């Protein structure tokens, strides 16, 4: 099933009312998804969390990030399976970068599974550098999987808006 490329999309703050749709996308995207509690706790803690939705198409993508002293740590970013490969991940990363700039934070950090070559390539295209490795960071089918730590310096002039999303 191909998602409509021209759907009118909107980016807005995630609320507890979005968690069912977020969980459906999360479990469809990952072998070891975040739990409902992870999302509820993130919202309760006041982390930056947004969803991209479309009228008649539901949830397209979402992210959760935590602000630190001089950094924004991207904890989760996901594009629903049907919407992948259409530029929504890159657009959402631009929005996250814009938030970091607006908050006056100098860098954006994330961890990604070492085996997730598609995501790592996207992050590199967006300017992230691989700066470290966290051994055994992620649960996996057998034992645990390493995480690649990636970082992006953030210009305090926000990048352009989220392409195709209001």
Q: Let me know: does 64 contact 42? Beta carbons within 8 Å.
A: yes
Rounded Cα distance between 80 and 39, Å, is: 16
**Is 123 noted as a catalytic residue in this protein?**
yes
Could you tell me which of 90, 28, 102 has the C-alpha nearest to residue 59?
28
Rounded Cα distance between 110 and 6, Å, is: 30
- In the set 26, 50, 71, 111, the catalytic residue is 111
Spell 38-53 as b/e; 16+ CB within 10 A means b.
Answer: bbeebbeeebbbbbbb
Q: Let me know: does 95 contact 50? Beta carbons within 8 Å.
A: yes
- In the set 47, 62, 123, 138, the catalytic residue is 123
- 3-state SS class at 151: strand
Rounded Cα distance between 142 and 56, Å, is: 40
**Is 145 noted as a catalytic residue in this protein?**
no
Supply the residues annotated as catalytic. 111, 123
């Amino acid at each position: 099933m191909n998602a409509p490329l021209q759907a009118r999309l909107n980016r807005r703050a995630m609320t507890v009312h979005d968690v069912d749709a977020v969980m459906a996308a999360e479990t469809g995207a990952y072998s070891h998804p975040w739990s409902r509690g992870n999302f509820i706790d993130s919202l309760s803690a006041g982390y930056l969390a947004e969803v991209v939705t479309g009228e008649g198409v539901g949830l397209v993508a979402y992210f959760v990030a935590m602000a630190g002293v001089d950094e924004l740590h991207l904890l989760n970013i996901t594009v629903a399976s049907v919407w992948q490969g259409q530029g929504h991940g890159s657009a959402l990363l631009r929005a996250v970068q814009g938030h970091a700039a607006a908050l006056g934070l100098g860098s954006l950090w994330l961890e990604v599974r070492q085996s997730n070559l598609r995501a790592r390539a996207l992050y590199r295209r967006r300017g992230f550098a691989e700066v470290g490795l966290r051994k055994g960071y992620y649960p996996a089918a057998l034992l645990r999987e390493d995480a690649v730590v990636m970082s992006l310096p953030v210009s305090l002039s926000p990048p352009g808006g989220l392409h195709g999303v209001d």
